[in-house]
A and B are shown apart, each in its own frame.
Chain A
Protein backbone atom coordinates (compact mmCIF):
# COMPACT_ATOMS: atom_id res chain seq x y z
CA UNK A 1 0.00 0.00 0.00
CA UNK A 2 1.27 3.46 -0.94
CA UNK A 3 0.09 6.46 1.05
CA UNK A 4 -0.88 9.50 -0.98
CA UNK A 5 2.00 11.64 0.25
CA UNK A 6 4.49 8.83 -0.45
CA UNK A 7 3.65 8.80 -4.17
CA UNK A 8 6.51 11.09 -5.34
CA UNK A 9 8.94 8.88 -3.43
CA UNK A 10 7.56 5.68 -4.95
CA UNK A 11 7.72 7.16 -8.46
CA UNK A 12 11.39 8.02 -8.04
CA UNK A 13 12.11 4.55 -6.66
CA UNK A 14 10.43 2.97 -9.67
CA UNK A 15 12.38 5.09 -12.12
CA UNK A 16 15.64 4.18 -10.40
CA UNK A 17 14.94 0.47 -10.47
CA UNK A 18 13.86 0.79 -14.13
CA UNK A 19 17.19 2.41 -15.00
CA UNK A 20 19.07 -0.26 -13.07
CA UNK A 21 17.36 -2.89 -15.23
CA UNK A 22 18.18 -1.00 -18.44
CA UNK A 23 21.76 -0.38 -17.43
CA UNK A 24 22.42 -4.02 -16.65
CA UNK A 25 26.14 -4.33 -15.94
CA UNK A 26 27.10 -1.23 -17.93
CA UNK A 27 28.03 2.09 -16.40
CA UNK A 28 26.34 4.26 -19.03
CA UNK A 29 23.36 5.27 -16.95
CA UNK A 30 25.20 5.64 -13.65
CA UNK A 31 25.19 9.43 -13.75
CA UNK A 32 21.45 9.55 -14.23
CA UNK A 33 20.91 6.92 -11.55
CA UNK A 34 23.00 8.84 -9.02
CA UNK A 35 21.12 12.02 -9.84
CA UNK A 36 17.78 10.30 -9.21
CA UNK A 37 19.04 8.71 -6.00
CA UNK A 38 19.95 12.11 -4.70
CA UNK A 39 16.54 13.40 -5.68
CA UNK A 40 14.97 10.42 -3.91
CA UNK A 41 16.86 11.12 -0.73
CA UNK A 42 15.84 14.75 -0.85
CA UNK A 43 12.20 13.83 -1.50
CA UNK A 44 12.19 11.45 1.46
CA UNK A 45 13.66 14.10 3.67
CA UNK A 46 11.18 16.69 2.46
CA UNK A 47 8.13 14.47 2.90
CA UNK A 48 9.10 12.69 6.10
CA UNK A 49 10.45 15.60 8.05
CA UNK A 50 7.23 17.54 7.52
CA UNK A 51 4.52 14.97 8.16
CA UNK A 52 1.30 16.43 9.49
CA UNK A 53 -0.25 14.76 12.54
CA UNK A 54 -2.86 13.04 10.37
CA UNK A 55 -0.20 11.79 7.96
CA UNK A 56 1.57 10.27 10.95
CA UNK A 57 -1.67 8.55 11.94
CA UNK A 58 -1.73 7.04 8.46
CA UNK A 59 1.87 5.90 8.80
CA UNK A 60 0.99 4.40 12.21
CA UNK A 61 -1.79 2.41 10.52
CA UNK A 62 0.27 1.27 7.54
CA UNK A 63 -0.32 -2.44 6.90
CA UNK A 64 3.39 -3.04 6.30
CA UNK A 65 4.41 -1.41 9.55
CA UNK A 66 6.31 -3.90 11.73
CA UNK A 67 3.84 -5.51 14.11
CA UNK A 68 3.93 -7.42 17.38
CA UNK A 69 5.23 -10.62 15.75
CA UNK A 70 8.15 -8.85 14.12
CA UNK A 71 9.26 -7.30 17.42
CA UNK A 72 8.71 -10.54 19.31
CA UNK A 73 10.80 -12.56 16.86
CA UNK A 74 13.59 -10.01 16.60
CA UNK A 75 13.93 -8.95 20.23
CA UNK A 76 13.11 -12.04 22.28
CA UNK A 77 13.79 -15.73 22.20
CA UNK A 78 11.87 -18.69 23.46
CA UNK A 79 8.46 -16.95 23.49
CA UNK A 80 6.23 -19.24 25.55
CA UNK A 81 2.72 -18.20 24.60
CA UNK A 82 -0.20 -18.45 27.01
CA UNK A 83 -3.88 -18.17 26.15
CA UNK A 84 -7.31 -17.45 27.50
CA UNK A 85 -9.01 -15.46 30.25
CA UNK A 86 -10.29 -18.54 32.17
CA UNK A 87 -13.77 -17.01 32.13
CA UNK A 88 -15.03 -16.86 28.59
CA UNK A 89 -12.49 -17.46 25.88
CA UNK A 90 -9.36 -16.67 23.97
CA UNK A 91 -8.82 -13.42 22.12
CA UNK A 92 -6.31 -13.27 19.27
CA UNK A 93 -6.29 -9.46 19.29
CA UNK A 94 -3.71 -9.56 22.08
CA UNK A 95 -0.99 -12.11 22.60
CA UNK A 96 1.29 -12.72 25.49
CA UNK A 97 3.40 -15.08 27.48
CA UNK A 98 6.85 -15.60 28.94
CA UNK A 99 9.86 -14.63 26.87
CA UNK A 100 13.54 -13.90 27.26
CA UNK A 101 15.15 -10.80 25.84
CA UNK A 102 17.91 -11.59 23.36
CA UNK A 103 21.33 -11.92 25.06
CA UNK A 104 22.56 -8.66 23.49
CA UNK A 105 19.56 -6.89 25.13
CA UNK A 106 20.44 -8.26 28.54
CA UNK A 107 18.74 -11.66 28.39
CA UNK A 108 16.13 -10.87 31.06
CA UNK A 109 13.11 -13.13 31.37
CA UNK A 110 9.93 -11.04 30.93
CA UNK A 111 6.21 -11.27 30.43
CA UNK A 112 5.64 -9.97 26.90
CA UNK A 113 2.19 -8.78 25.83
CA UNK A 114 1.18 -7.02 22.63
CA UNK A 115 -1.70 -6.24 20.32
CA UNK A 116 -1.46 -8.48 17.29
CA UNK A 117 -2.76 -6.84 14.15
CA UNK A 118 -1.58 -9.79 12.06
CA UNK A 119 0.49 -9.80 8.90
CA UNK A 120 -2.14 -10.95 6.40
CA UNK A 121 -5.86 -10.50 5.88
CA UNK A 122 -6.80 -13.74 7.61
CA UNK A 123 -4.77 -12.95 10.72
CA UNK A 124 -6.05 -9.39 10.74
CA UNK A 125 -9.64 -10.57 10.80
CA UNK A 126 -8.88 -13.23 13.44
CA UNK A 127 -7.32 -10.56 15.64
CA UNK A 128 -10.17 -8.11 15.00
CA UNK A 129 -7.55 -5.63 13.67
CA UNK A 130 -5.95 -5.39 17.09
CA UNK A 131 -9.15 -4.43 18.91
CA UNK A 132 -9.54 -6.60 21.99
CA UNK A 133 -12.81 -7.93 23.37
CA UNK A 134 -13.31 -8.12 27.16
CA UNK A 135 -11.76 -11.60 27.22
CA UNK A 136 -8.64 -10.01 25.73
CA UNK A 137 -8.38 -7.43 28.51
CA UNK A 138 -9.03 -10.16 31.09
CA UNK A 139 -6.39 -12.39 29.53
CA UNK A 140 -3.95 -9.49 29.77
CA UNK A 141 -4.99 -9.01 33.40
CA UNK A 142 -4.14 -12.67 34.05
CA UNK A 143 -0.69 -12.13 32.56
CA UNK A 144 -0.18 -9.09 34.81
CA UNK A 145 -0.92 -11.34 37.78
CA UNK A 146 1.49 -13.99 36.57
CA UNK A 147 4.23 -11.39 36.15
CA UNK A 148 3.67 -10.21 39.72
CA UNK A 149 3.59 -13.75 41.05
CA UNK A 150 6.92 -14.60 39.47
CA UNK A 151 8.53 -11.19 39.81
CA UNK A 152 9.00 -10.65 36.08
CA UNK A 153 9.02 -7.28 34.28
CA UNK A 154 5.95 -6.62 32.14
CA UNK A 155 6.79 -5.51 28.60
CA UNK A 156 3.90 -4.14 26.55
CA UNK A 157 3.72 -3.43 22.82
CA UNK A 158 0.74 -1.20 22.08
CA UNK A 159 -0.79 -1.20 18.60
CA UNK A 160 -4.57 -0.91 18.70
CA UNK A 161 -7.12 1.37 17.05
CA UNK A 162 -8.91 1.26 20.41
CA UNK A 163 -11.58 -0.58 22.30
CA UNK A 164 -14.13 -2.32 20.09
CA UNK A 165 -17.51 -0.71 19.56
CA UNK A 166 -19.52 -3.93 19.36
CA UNK A 167 -22.54 -5.53 20.99
CA UNK A 168 -20.71 -8.49 22.50
CA UNK A 169 -17.88 -6.35 23.85
CA UNK A 170 -20.52 -4.39 25.76
CA UNK A 171 -22.45 -7.46 26.89
CA UNK A 172 -19.30 -8.87 28.42
CA UNK A 173 -18.42 -5.64 30.16
CA UNK A 174 -15.42 -4.15 28.37
CA UNK A 175 -15.44 -1.08 30.61
CA UNK A 176 -15.19 -3.34 33.68
CA UNK A 177 -12.39 -5.31 32.04
CA UNK A 178 -10.39 -2.18 31.19
CA UNK A 179 -10.74 -0.66 34.65
CA UNK A 180 -9.56 -3.94 36.20
CA UNK A 181 -6.40 -3.84 34.04
CA UNK A 182 -5.73 -0.23 35.04
CA UNK A 183 -6.08 -1.16 38.70
CA UNK A 184 -3.76 -4.13 38.22
CA UNK A 185 -1.05 -2.03 36.55
CA UNK A 186 -1.43 0.66 39.21
CA UNK A 187 -0.25 -1.69 41.92
CA UNK A 188 1.91 -4.29 40.15
CA UNK A 189 5.19 -4.45 42.13
CA UNK A 190 7.27 -5.26 39.04
CA UNK A 191 8.70 -3.00 36.32
CA UNK A 192 6.11 -2.06 33.69
CA UNK A 193 7.56 -0.96 30.35
CA UNK A 194 5.38 0.07 27.44
CA UNK A 195 6.10 0.93 23.81
CA UNK A 196 3.55 2.42 21.46
CA UNK A 197 4.67 0.89 18.16
CA UNK A 198 1.73 1.94 16.00
CA UNK A 199 -1.74 2.97 17.03
CA UNK A 200 -2.49 3.94 20.62
CA UNK A 201 -6.26 4.24 20.61
CA UNK A 202 -8.09 5.31 23.77
CA UNK A 203 -8.84 3.07 26.73
CA UNK A 204 -7.82 -0.01 24.76
CA UNK A 205 -4.28 1.38 24.58
CA UNK A 206 -4.21 2.76 28.11
CA UNK A 207 -4.99 -0.69 29.55
CA UNK A 208 -1.45 -1.48 28.34
CA UNK A 209 0.46 1.74 28.90
CA UNK A 210 0.03 2.75 32.52
CA UNK A 211 3.72 2.15 33.00
CA UNK A 212 7.03 3.16 34.58
CA UNK A 213 8.35 3.98 31.14
CA UNK A 214 6.38 4.77 27.98
CA UNK A 215 8.31 5.06 24.72
CA UNK A 216 6.69 5.99 21.44
CA UNK A 217 7.96 5.45 17.95
CA UNK A 218 8.13 8.76 16.12
CA UNK A 219 5.16 8.05 13.85
CA UNK A 220 2.98 6.26 16.36
CA UNK A 221 0.14 8.08 18.06
CA UNK A 222 -1.72 8.00 21.37
CA UNK A 223 -5.14 9.56 21.60
CA UNK A 224 -8.29 9.65 23.65
CA UNK A 225 -10.30 9.17 20.45
CA UNK A 226 -9.68 8.41 16.77
CA UNK A 227 -9.34 11.65 14.81
CA UNK A 228 -12.18 10.61 12.50
CA UNK A 229 -14.55 10.08 15.45
CA UNK A 230 -13.45 13.31 17.09
CA UNK A 231 -14.14 15.18 13.85
CA UNK A 232 -17.62 13.72 13.53
CA UNK A 233 -18.47 14.61 17.13
CA UNK A 234 -16.88 18.06 17.45
CA UNK A 235 -17.07 19.29 13.85
CA UNK A 236 -19.97 17.06 12.85
CA UNK A 237 -17.91 16.08 9.81
CA UNK A 238 -15.65 12.98 9.74
CA UNK A 239 -13.93 14.50 6.69
CA UNK A 240 -12.21 16.99 8.96
CA UNK A 241 -10.10 14.28 10.59
CA UNK A 242 -6.83 16.03 9.69
CA UNK A 243 -7.93 19.09 11.63
CA UNK A 244 -8.97 16.93 14.58
CA UNK A 245 -5.63 15.10 14.54
CA UNK A 246 -3.91 18.48 14.71
CA UNK A 247 -6.08 19.68 17.61
CA UNK A 248 -5.77 16.47 19.65
CA UNK A 249 -1.96 16.76 19.92
CA UNK A 250 -1.64 13.01 19.51
CA UNK A 251 1.84 12.65 18.02
CA UNK A 252 4.80 11.21 19.90
CA UNK A 253 6.57 14.57 19.84
CA UNK A 254 3.50 16.42 21.22
CA UNK A 255 3.07 13.89 24.00
CA UNK A 256 6.72 14.14 24.97
CA UNK A 257 6.44 17.94 25.02
CA UNK A 258 3.38 17.67 27.26
CA UNK A 259 5.23 15.37 29.64
CA UNK A 260 2.93 12.40 29.04
CA UNK A 261 5.50 9.97 27.61
CA UNK A 262 9.19 9.51 28.33
CA UNK A 263 10.85 9.14 24.99
CA UNK A 264 10.32 9.56 21.26
CA UNK A 265 12.07 6.80 19.36
CA UNK A 266 13.20 8.01 15.93
CA UNK A 267 12.07 6.06 12.90
CA UNK A 268 14.14 5.55 9.77
CA UNK A 269 13.58 8.04 6.99
CA UNK A 270 10.48 6.89 5.13
CA UNK A 271 8.86 5.43 8.24
CA UNK A 272 9.13 2.09 10.04
CA UNK A 273 7.41 0.28 7.16
CA UNK A 274 10.26 1.18 4.80
CA UNK A 275 13.07 -0.04 7.04
CA UNK A 276 11.45 -2.37 9.60
CA UNK A 277 14.76 -3.67 10.97
CA UNK A 278 15.91 -0.16 11.86
CA UNK A 279 12.71 0.61 13.78
CA UNK A 280 12.84 -2.72 15.59
CA UNK A 281 16.49 -2.17 16.55
CA UNK A 282 15.66 1.25 17.96
CA UNK A 283 12.88 -0.20 20.11
CA UNK A 284 15.18 -3.07 21.10
CA UNK A 285 17.93 -0.73 22.30
CA UNK A 286 15.47 1.21 24.45
CA UNK A 287 13.87 -2.01 25.72
CA UNK A 288 17.18 -3.53 26.81
CA UNK A 289 18.31 -0.31 28.44
CA UNK A 290 15.03 0.34 30.31
CA UNK A 291 14.50 -3.24 31.53
CA UNK A 292 18.11 -3.43 32.76
CA UNK A 293 17.70 -0.08 34.49
CA UNK A 294 14.50 -1.05 36.26
CA UNK A 295 15.29 -4.67 37.09
CA UNK A 296 17.21 -3.76 40.22
CA UNK A 297 14.57 -1.30 41.49
CA UNK A 298 12.87 -1.95 44.80
CA UNK A 299 9.28 -3.09 44.09
CA UNK A 300 7.65 -0.70 46.55
CA UNK A 301 9.65 2.23 45.24
CA UNK A 302 8.53 1.35 41.72
CA UNK A 303 4.85 1.32 42.66
CA UNK A 304 5.19 4.58 44.59
CA UNK A 305 6.95 6.28 41.69
CA UNK A 306 4.33 5.02 39.23
CA UNK A 307 1.60 6.30 41.53
CA UNK A 308 3.20 9.76 41.70
CA UNK A 309 3.78 9.87 37.96
CA UNK A 310 0.12 9.38 37.10
CA UNK A 311 -1.19 11.24 40.09
CA UNK A 312 0.66 14.36 38.92
CA UNK A 313 0.19 13.93 35.22
CA UNK A 314 -1.39 16.90 33.54
CA UNK A 315 -1.06 19.27 36.49
CA UNK A 316 -0.59 22.02 33.97
CA UNK A 317 -4.01 21.33 32.46
CA UNK A 318 -5.64 23.07 35.43
CA UNK A 319 -5.62 26.45 37.05
CA UNK A 320 -6.19 26.61 40.77
CA UNK A 321 -8.70 29.40 41.25
CA UNK A 322 -8.06 29.32 44.99
CA UNK A 323 -4.29 29.80 44.74
Chain B
Protein backbone atom coordinates (compact mmCIF):
# COMPACT_ATOMS: atom_id res chain seq x y z
CA UNK B 1 0.00 0.00 0.00
CA UNK B 2 1.40 3.33 -1.04
CA UNK B 3 0.97 5.51 2.02
CA UNK B 4 3.65 8.12 1.36
CA UNK B 5 2.37 11.55 2.18
CA UNK B 6 3.61 15.03 1.78
CA UNK B 7 2.59 18.45 3.06
CA UNK B 8 1.02 20.97 0.71
CA UNK B 9 3.44 23.85 0.25
CA UNK B 10 0.53 26.23 -0.03
CA UNK B 11 -2.02 25.23 2.62
CA UNK B 12 0.15 23.03 4.84
CA UNK B 13 -2.34 20.17 4.90
CA UNK B 14 -1.06 16.63 4.57
CA UNK B 15 -1.74 14.97 1.21
CA UNK B 16 -1.24 11.38 0.16
CA UNK B 17 1.00 11.41 -2.90
CA UNK B 18 -1.33 8.88 -4.45
CA UNK B 19 -4.22 11.35 -4.13
CA UNK B 20 -2.10 14.13 -5.55
CA UNK B 21 -1.19 11.95 -8.55
CA UNK B 22 -4.82 10.99 -9.10
CA UNK B 23 -5.73 14.70 -9.16
CA UNK B 24 -2.90 15.52 -11.59
CA UNK B 25 -0.94 17.41 -8.92
CA UNK B 26 -3.75 19.62 -7.71
CA UNK B 27 -3.99 19.84 -3.89
CA UNK B 28 -7.26 18.23 -2.74
CA UNK B 29 -7.54 20.77 0.09
CA UNK B 30 -6.67 24.17 -1.39
CA UNK B 31 -6.72 23.37 -5.14
CA UNK B 32 -3.18 24.67 -5.58
CA UNK B 33 -1.84 23.59 -8.99
CA UNK B 34 1.63 22.04 -8.80
CA UNK B 35 3.71 21.63 -11.96
CA UNK B 36 2.70 18.66 -14.08
CA UNK B 37 5.06 16.57 -16.21
CA UNK B 38 4.49 16.39 -19.95
CA UNK B 39 3.54 12.67 -19.92
CA UNK B 40 0.98 13.26 -17.15
CA UNK B 41 -0.38 16.29 -19.00
CA UNK B 42 -0.90 14.18 -22.12
CA UNK B 43 -2.81 11.61 -20.03
CA UNK B 44 -4.90 14.44 -18.59
CA UNK B 45 -5.86 15.91 -21.96
CA UNK B 46 -6.01 13.10 -24.50
CA UNK B 47 -8.29 10.13 -24.93
CA UNK B 48 -6.72 7.04 -23.45
CA UNK B 49 -4.23 5.37 -25.77
CA UNK B 50 -4.69 7.90 -28.56
CA UNK B 51 -1.37 9.73 -28.30
CA UNK B 52 1.15 9.10 -31.07
CA UNK B 53 4.44 10.73 -30.34
CA UNK B 54 6.20 12.43 -33.26
CA UNK B 55 9.68 13.82 -33.76
CA UNK B 56 11.19 12.07 -30.77
CA UNK B 57 14.91 11.46 -30.82
CA UNK B 58 15.91 15.04 -31.59
CA UNK B 59 18.71 15.89 -29.19
CA UNK B 60 20.28 19.20 -28.34
CA UNK B 61 23.82 19.68 -29.54
CA UNK B 62 26.03 22.16 -27.76
CA UNK B 63 26.35 24.71 -30.56
CA UNK B 64 28.43 27.20 -28.60
CA UNK B 65 30.47 24.74 -26.56
CA UNK B 66 28.98 26.37 -23.48
CA UNK B 67 30.74 25.21 -20.33
CA UNK B 68 28.51 22.89 -18.30
CA UNK B 69 25.69 22.54 -20.86
CA UNK B 70 26.43 18.91 -21.83
CA UNK B 71 26.31 17.85 -18.19
CA UNK B 72 23.04 19.70 -17.61
CA UNK B 73 21.51 17.99 -20.61
CA UNK B 74 22.64 14.56 -19.50
CA UNK B 75 21.34 15.11 -16.01
CA UNK B 76 17.99 16.39 -17.25
CA UNK B 77 17.60 13.49 -19.67
CA UNK B 78 18.39 11.00 -16.94
CA UNK B 79 16.14 12.63 -14.37
CA UNK B 80 13.09 13.05 -16.63
CA UNK B 81 13.47 10.27 -19.18
CA UNK B 82 12.76 12.91 -21.85
CA UNK B 83 14.90 14.02 -24.80
CA UNK B 84 14.25 17.69 -24.11
CA UNK B 85 11.70 20.06 -22.57
CA UNK B 86 8.81 19.26 -24.92
CA UNK B 87 6.86 16.15 -25.90
CA UNK B 88 4.80 16.39 -29.08
CA UNK B 89 2.66 14.46 -31.51
CA UNK B 90 -0.98 13.90 -32.39
CA UNK B 91 -3.83 12.47 -30.39
CA UNK B 92 -7.57 12.62 -29.80
CA UNK B 93 -9.29 15.02 -27.45
CA UNK B 94 -12.91 14.09 -26.94
CA UNK B 95 -12.74 12.05 -30.12
CA UNK B 96 -11.34 14.93 -32.15
CA UNK B 97 -7.83 14.64 -33.57
CA UNK B 98 -5.42 17.43 -32.54
CA UNK B 99 -1.73 18.22 -32.95
CA UNK B 100 -0.27 18.77 -29.52
CA UNK B 101 2.99 19.91 -27.91
CA UNK B 102 3.44 19.90 -24.14
CA UNK B 103 6.36 21.48 -22.31
CA UNK B 104 7.96 20.01 -19.22
CA UNK B 105 9.39 22.41 -16.65
CA UNK B 106 11.56 19.71 -15.07
CA UNK B 107 13.87 19.73 -18.10
CA UNK B 108 16.25 22.67 -17.48
CA UNK B 109 13.36 24.85 -16.37
CA UNK B 110 11.38 24.22 -19.54
CA UNK B 111 13.86 26.46 -21.32
CA UNK B 112 13.55 26.84 -25.10
CA UNK B 113 16.59 25.79 -27.08
CA UNK B 114 16.84 24.50 -30.63
CA UNK B 115 15.08 21.21 -29.92
CA UNK B 116 12.09 22.81 -28.20
CA UNK B 117 11.78 25.35 -31.03
CA UNK B 118 12.12 22.64 -33.68
CA UNK B 119 9.55 20.32 -32.10
CA UNK B 120 7.08 23.14 -31.60
CA UNK B 121 7.59 24.24 -35.22
CA UNK B 122 7.13 20.67 -36.48
CA UNK B 123 3.96 20.26 -34.41
CA UNK B 124 2.60 23.42 -36.00
CA UNK B 125 3.54 22.01 -39.42
CA UNK B 126 1.84 18.68 -38.72
CA UNK B 127 -1.29 20.60 -37.75
CA UNK B 128 -1.06 22.63 -40.96
CA UNK B 129 -0.40 19.67 -43.26
CA UNK B 130 -3.07 17.45 -41.68
CA UNK B 131 -5.59 20.26 -41.10
CA UNK B 132 -5.78 19.72 -37.36
CA UNK B 133 -6.48 22.01 -34.45
CA UNK B 134 -3.26 22.96 -32.66
CA UNK B 135 -2.86 22.75 -28.89
CA UNK B 136 0.32 23.87 -27.12
CA UNK B 137 0.74 23.69 -23.34
CA UNK B 138 3.59 25.87 -22.10
CA UNK B 139 5.72 25.80 -18.96
CA UNK B 140 9.00 27.61 -19.34
CA UNK B 141 11.48 29.85 -17.60
CA UNK B 142 12.34 31.36 -21.00
CA UNK B 143 15.15 31.01 -23.48
CA UNK B 144 17.93 28.48 -22.95
CA UNK B 145 20.95 30.66 -22.30
CA UNK B 146 23.40 27.84 -22.96
CA UNK B 147 22.47 28.03 -26.63
CA UNK B 148 22.95 31.80 -26.79
CA UNK B 149 21.55 33.41 -29.90
CA UNK B 150 20.36 30.02 -31.19
CA UNK B 151 17.77 30.06 -28.41
CA UNK B 152 16.74 33.61 -29.37
CA UNK B 153 16.25 32.44 -32.95
CA UNK B 154 13.68 29.88 -31.79
CA UNK B 155 11.27 32.78 -31.31
CA UNK B 156 11.69 33.53 -35.00
CA UNK B 157 11.52 29.87 -36.03
CA UNK B 158 8.25 29.18 -34.21
CA UNK B 159 6.78 32.50 -35.39
CA UNK B 160 7.38 31.82 -39.09
CA UNK B 161 5.85 28.35 -38.72
CA UNK B 162 2.84 29.77 -36.91
CA UNK B 163 2.36 32.60 -39.38
CA UNK B 164 1.71 30.01 -42.09
CA UNK B 165 -0.67 27.96 -39.90
CA UNK B 166 -2.88 30.94 -39.04
CA UNK B 167 -3.53 31.57 -42.74
CA UNK B 168 -5.78 28.51 -42.55
CA UNK B 169 -8.97 28.31 -40.55
CA UNK B 170 -7.93 25.76 -37.93
CA UNK B 171 -7.75 26.97 -34.35
CA UNK B 172 -4.64 27.40 -32.25
CA UNK B 173 -5.25 27.08 -28.51
CA UNK B 174 -2.47 27.97 -26.09
CA UNK B 175 -2.54 26.83 -22.47
CA UNK B 176 -0.23 28.68 -20.09
CA UNK B 177 0.81 26.89 -16.91
CA UNK B 178 3.03 27.77 -13.98
CA UNK B 179 5.47 29.26 -14.86
CA UNK B 180 5.56 30.62 -18.43
CA UNK B 181 8.05 33.41 -19.12
CA UNK B 182 10.57 34.94 -21.49
CA UNK B 183 11.05 33.75 -25.03
CA UNK B 184 8.12 31.36 -24.90
CA UNK B 185 5.60 34.07 -23.95
CA UNK B 186 7.24 36.46 -26.43
CA UNK B 187 6.56 34.05 -29.28
CA UNK B 188 4.19 31.13 -29.88
CA UNK B 189 2.57 30.92 -26.42
CA UNK B 190 0.77 34.27 -26.70
CA UNK B 191 0.10 34.34 -30.45
CA UNK B 192 -2.91 32.02 -30.20
CA UNK B 193 -6.58 32.35 -31.13
CA UNK B 194 -7.55 31.52 -27.57
CA UNK B 195 -5.25 31.74 -24.54
CA UNK B 196 -6.21 29.69 -21.49
CA UNK B 197 -4.32 29.74 -18.19
CA UNK B 198 -4.34 27.55 -15.11
CA UNK B 199 -5.35 29.18 -11.81
CA UNK B 200 -2.49 30.92 -10.04
CA UNK B 201 0.02 30.26 -12.84
CA UNK B 202 2.76 32.89 -13.01
CA UNK B 203 2.92 34.29 -16.54
CA UNK B 204 4.95 37.16 -17.96
CA UNK B 205 8.01 38.22 -19.87
CA UNK B 206 10.51 39.36 -17.23
CA UNK B 207 10.33 37.67 -13.84
CA UNK B 208 9.22 39.55 -10.72
CA UNK B 209 12.63 39.30 -9.07
CA UNK B 210 14.40 40.82 -12.07
CA UNK B 211 11.86 43.66 -12.19
CA UNK B 212 12.33 44.42 -8.51
CA UNK B 213 16.11 44.43 -8.92
CA UNK B 214 15.98 46.61 -12.03
CA UNK B 215 13.42 49.22 -11.03
CA UNK B 216 13.33 48.90 -7.22
CA UNK B 217 9.56 48.95 -7.53
CA UNK B 218 7.39 47.13 -5.05
CA UNK B 219 5.14 44.85 -7.06
CA UNK B 220 1.46 44.45 -6.23
CA UNK B 221 0.00 41.32 -4.66
CA UNK B 222 -0.75 38.71 -7.30
CA UNK B 223 1.50 40.36 -9.90
CA UNK B 224 1.80 38.23 -13.07
CA UNK B 225 -0.61 35.55 -11.91
CA UNK B 226 -3.05 34.09 -14.42
CA UNK B 227 -5.80 36.16 -12.76
CA UNK B 228 -3.71 39.33 -13.10
CA UNK B 229 -3.13 38.60 -16.79
CA UNK B 230 -6.82 37.98 -17.37
CA UNK B 231 -7.70 41.24 -15.60
CA UNK B 232 -5.20 43.06 -17.81
CA UNK B 233 -6.76 41.63 -20.94
CA UNK B 234 -4.00 39.18 -21.82
CA UNK B 235 -5.66 35.83 -21.11
CA UNK B 236 -9.12 34.67 -22.21
CA UNK B 237 -10.00 32.19 -19.50
CA UNK B 238 -8.74 30.64 -16.32
CA UNK B 239 -9.55 26.98 -16.19
CA UNK B 240 -9.01 24.50 -13.35
CA UNK B 241 -6.72 21.68 -14.43
CA UNK B 242 -9.32 19.00 -13.80
CA UNK B 243 -11.80 20.88 -16.00
CA UNK B 244 -9.30 21.63 -18.77
CA UNK B 245 -10.02 18.74 -21.08
CA UNK B 246 -13.77 19.40 -21.03
CA UNK B 247 -13.22 23.11 -21.53
CA UNK B 248 -11.05 22.60 -24.62
CA UNK B 249 -13.51 20.05 -25.94
CA UNK B 250 -16.27 22.65 -25.70
CA UNK B 251 -14.12 25.23 -27.45
CA UNK B 252 -13.22 22.84 -30.26
CA UNK B 253 -16.93 22.26 -30.72
CA UNK B 254 -17.20 25.88 -31.88
CA UNK B 255 -14.07 26.31 -33.91
CA UNK B 256 -12.83 22.96 -35.20
Contacts and interface: CB of A to CB of B under 8 A. Distances in A.
* A contact residues, range: 35 or more
Given A170-B211, A307-B164, A313 B152 contact: no
Interface residues of B, number: 66
Given A170-B206, A173-B233, A249-B64, A314 B153 contact: yes
Contacts, number: 191
Contact of B215 (A166, A176, A187, A306): A166
A160 interface: no
Contact of A210 (B61, B83, B151, B156): B156
B80 to A, nearest CB: 16
Interface in B118-170: 118, 121, 143, 145-157, 159-164, 166-167
Given A317-B60, A321-B58, A175 B185 contact: yes
Contact of B159 (A186, A314, A317): A186
A186 B186 contact: no
A248 B186 contact: no
Given A176-B190, A179-B188, A202 B152 contact: yes
B114 A314 contact: yes
B183 A186 contact: no
Contact of A175 (B145, B157, B186, B213): B186
Interface stretch (A20-28, A104-112, A222-230): A222-230
Interface in A130-187: 163-167, 169-176, 178-180, 182-183, 185-187
B188 A224 contact: no
A249 B150 CA distance: 10
A183 B183 CA distance: 14
Interface stretch (B2-10, B15-23, B97-105, B216-224): B216-224
Given A182-B159, A203-B183, A234-B145, A311 B214 contact: no
B107 to A, nearest CB: 15
B179 interface: no
A1 interface: no
Interface of A: 163-167, 169-176, 178-180, 182-183, 185-187, 202-203, 206, 210, 222-225, 229-230, 233-234, 247-250, 255, 258, 260, 306-307, 310-311, 313-314, 316-322
Given A166-B215, A224-B147, A248-B145, 15 more contacts: A170-B205, A172-B232, A175-B189, A176-B234, A182-B155, A182-B186, A182-B191, A183-B163, A183-B166, A187-B167, A203-B205, A248-B148, A307-B163, A314-B63, A314-B157
